[in-house]
Structure 1
Amino acid sequence: MLQIPLWKRVVILGLCLLGILLALPNAFYTRVETHNDAVSAIETLGSTPEREADAGLWPSFLPATLVNLGLDLRGGAHLLAEVHVEDVYVDRMDTTWPDVRDALVAIRDQVGFVERLEAAAPGTLSLRIQNADAMPAALEAVRALAQPVVSLSGIGAQDLVVTGQGSTLTVELSPEEKLATDDRTVRQALEIIRRRIDEVGTREPTIQRQGEDRILIQVPGVGSAEELKGIIGTTARLTFHPVVSASATADTRTSAGQLLVQDIDEEAVWYVLESAAILSGEDLKTAQPGFDQNGQPSVTLSFNGHGAQVFGRFTSENVGALFATVLDDKVITAPQIREPITGGQAQITGNFTVESSTDLAVLLRAGALPAELTFLEERTISPGLGQDSIEAGRIAAVVGFVAVIVFMALSYGLFGIFANIALIVNLSMLLGVLSAFGATLTLPGIAGIVLTMGMAVDANVLVFERIREELKTAKGPSRAIELGYQRALSAIIDANITTFITSLILFLLGSGPVKGFAVTLMVGIVTSVFTAIWLTRLLVVIWFERRRPRTIEV
């Protein structure tokens, strides 16, 4: 007999109502989006009457999650960036130089004086020792600084290759360490780009690695590619260097281990700095915009434990010296150390505006890009083009939906109407699940939804055709309906599992639009199986219990 326990009925209807409730905000997309933006602004920037009014556009007790629109539907910016991984080799050698120097100073009685030379190639460290006969001892001392490569592909290898010829000693990264460094650099750049974009509140960006040293960036809702480049294009590499001297000319000669850097505001002022930084942006704990003692905009820095210790020790030992703050190869400020700074905090001052100090704080909080980016491809998709895509997708979905509704009603009568009700609930649950997970809907995703509609009624077609067959042999309509659902179940499960596996492969191996199609198709398969097997059966059982027909027509 057709029987569904009360608890199952409650669960089925409860899940359907939950799906409809989660999908409801998408019917009021603009209003809910304005509400969400206002709530986020109130939490971060404080309350204003305008923000409170916008937050009141949607009831707080209702779900407010939306299906995010992808780049092809919303418009936005597309960038393909190449990471200059070789830049990291140069920085690595600069930070290695003090350790190499100290190791050779420890055996000065053998090697004599040590002088750093101009590198023969980028990413190498060259130096000359006074006593060429002591080269074996020098090689041994420097090779002791090498560490194992932290990489699965570099197991057993060392990170430094040290060679000597005559009185010249050369240090460079090993091939295994270069591969590991390249991978870490691109991964770090990927994460920092994501953090910078998240800081400015953009919705559902697509940030993916492509190849060995390229990153694909797609951000819906951004006005142009130039605006997106402004968010992520600044390297924001913050370092602190001792000042050797100041000069009014760019022709000032520097020695090995020194840098000639221009002042960011005064183009006629140049500083000779020690190339080895005392601290870097990696030692920052946080950065916040503020005001200095004169009421001018500034940026307040807080160092982590290691940074605070190094900063306090250096300022204690160098009272009266100049200390330069360098951002992207420009000196922001070079004040004199008047007293030890041991509190773990510092302040960057300069010709800032409130907006520029806020932007700098955002960049520093997100972290410094480990290497420079070159934008190989940039494209802006206008909101108008996105709206055209939405309209085209909407027309396709409506046409497909109406065609399926009419076909089912004409083919199966009342049972077809039950299938149509389940189809409407299925689409609502699909949007509800996508909203709950914050998924991004793309134009291929709309194609996945259209395909889901056909697959949703396909399960009902199998059931209804099976019921027709059982009516010819079964004893009564109740038994025919029960056997129809039981014997069609295996075919429904098999068909949907194979499609789900195919969608999963597309999701794992595909990228961009392919993933969007696969996500909507996978979610649609789950919701369509649920509505076809459980919801339509519940509707048929409720109808059968009320009418008790002696015969049925499918």
Structure 2
Amino acid sequence: MFLSGHSTPRLGIDLAGGTSITLQARSEPGQESAVNQTNMNTAVGIIERRVNGLGVSEAEVQTQGNDHIIVNIPKGTNEKQAREQVGTTAQLYFRPVLQLASGEPAPEGSATPSASGSPDEAEKGDGGEAGGDKATEGGDEATDGGSGEPEATPTTQGRAASGALKADATPSPSGPAEDDADPTPSPSASAAEPSEALQKKFEALTCTDTEERTEASEGTKPAEPIVACGTNAQGQWEKYILGPSAVAGTEVDDATAAIDQQGAQGWLVNMEFTDKGKKQFADVTSDISAKPSPQNQFAIVLDGDVVSAPYVREPLTGGTAQISGSFTQESAQDLANMLSYGALPLSFVEESVTSVTAALGGEQLEAGLIAGAIGLLLVVVYLVVYYRGLSLIAIISLLMSAALTYTIMVLLGPAIGFALNLPAVCGAIVAIGITADSFIVFFERVRDEIREGRSLQPAVARGWPRARRTILVSDFVSFLSAAVLFVVTVGKVQGFAFTLGLTTLLDVVVVFFFTRPLLTILARKKFFASGHPWSGLDPKRLGVKPPLRRSRRTVPADPKEA
């Protein structure tokens, strides 16, 4: 426990405080009716999965009124990362790239900013049906494998900003000759020329200016070209003119982060499309694969920002793709979360962010702990009065169970993000009765055997199998109840169910591997084996009657005849 660097459990927002974010729903122009209860509930589910994709962080997501969502993030979670996950709530789109240039201010005295370094690469993988298409992140990777790959740098939103598809080292004969050194688009080759106003907006845009980036993404519609910004693998800002949306983010069926098993590039992101998305993705990649760079790129746009911009050599028709490169586990998981949960039915704006104190939760916790301590004390008093010496075994077993529960809760904090909240504490208190009940069942079986006239060691050996069945059935019912409650509920109630299920499993471990061996050892001690009045196994106190002595009649060797 201490080797992990943690000695106390992570606490939920009700016990440790945290951050509360209020989001207001906004519909797209002309779709005012989209702000309805159904879409709000869908958005709550997506945001909850997105935030908890960072771990079982016990984040609370719930609606308030008709158009607000409240997100409570407990202290101890990566709050900055979680806020970024919550804040990027606009719809996700795949758009073709029309123009690309540096988005950083040009040095004084220099000419118009030139296009940025070579874009990322996209190719179709071998056997799209079996292995799926493969995407590789990294801006300057040579197709012959001769050059190194720059290290991906997370964007300001905490995710890698460039991506590329890759498979065959040899370019497709149908694809155009590449010129990575000069990715500047040829205006004549553009399938859809941007308007003069959009071109001026593109030339004047400076991506390092937050206000300019925000204004550029405001009021954009899926069916219209837009101007957007993103960062490349080296962390440099780039600006884009993007065509109308070709694939909506809702057509991404699933996206997961995984370790690249075939190369030394660390982590990658796997994408799967729906049937509709598969056709749309095949159409857009078929169209742009025959164009010069950067018009053979498509941009993944979330909340007005380009989060990845791979380029394509061949049509990608397998319905799956991979984005790989110099990802870390965190950046790959962030991008996978954005792809999986980025497409919300509504757009949201962050209305307010407030800090939540743990004062009220602390008072409730104190009251709960006092109630738990009183209950535990009553259980101990009952055990001492009724079981006497056996109560020592029960108390030590309870302490062992408490130590295991505490240790596992501490370890689960950094492992899966488990946070201890008030309902979870309630579940742990309820578990005291479940654990004590197991000891009572075992002790009573042993005492029943003694009542039948057996000594202590045979009584323990014969009583355990009968007690074991009863304990397992009882704990199974308790665990099943906790499992069902965990599945059908959300939020804090899941904390209660999780703790109850965990302590039920630990009860089985303690009874089988600690209580029974301890009683077996103590059964050999004279204090317990002799049935001392304070052992709890006194035959007289248990109502055991000594066996009747039968008189022996002497039969004469030579019986007399009558």
Q: Given the two structures, how large is their TM-score scaled by the length of structure 1?
A: 0.49
Structure that is richer in helix per residue: 1
TM normalised by structure 2 equals: 0.48
